[in-house]
Amino acid sequence: MRALLVSLILSGASLAASPNPANAQGFMFESGSSLLAKCRNKAPEYALACTAYIVGVVDGIRKDSFIGRGRPICWPDKMSADDARRTVVAYLERWPDQRRGPASVLVSVALNERYPCQK
């Protein structure tokens, strides 16, 4: 039953996605390039979309960590949405060769780079 549900969700998501060569490795709603374009856009709705996407990814990663399904994270507990956004945008601007990857992965990489766990 779970496999059927996952299959239905993924097939529905695939229909909503526009064809994109960057998606050749698998489906993604947002690439690093498309996220950066939203974040750089001066229109308020794009800035909101950029920040909302990043905050959603952060919440998802924190949820996975909380339930023990994710890797340990060492991000500040009180990290603001603006701080997360600035961190991600700075990472995407610094590493243009990474932008074809899934934005959700790049959000995690950017924050882990800024806030590494001390061993």
* Per-residue pLDDT, 47: 94
pTM reported for the whole predicted model: 0.75
How many helices and strands (H and E) does the chain possess?
A: 5, 0
Who has greater pLDDT, 19 or 96?
Answer: 96
Who has greater pLDDT, 66 or 8?
Answer: 66
How far apart are alpha carbons 70 and 24 in whole angstroms? 25
* Domains and their CATH numbers in the chain: 29-114 (1.10.890.40)
Report the mean per-residue pLDDT for the chain: 82
Nearest Cα to 109, choosing from 79, 59, 73? Answer: 73
Who has greater pLDDT, 20 or 52?
Answer: 52
* Per-residue pLDDT, 25: 55
State the pLDDT confidence band at 27, using cuts at 50, 70 and 90. low
Lowest pLDDT segment from 25-29, 68-72, 110-114: 25-29
State the pLDDT confidence band at 64, using cuts at 50, 70 and 90. very high
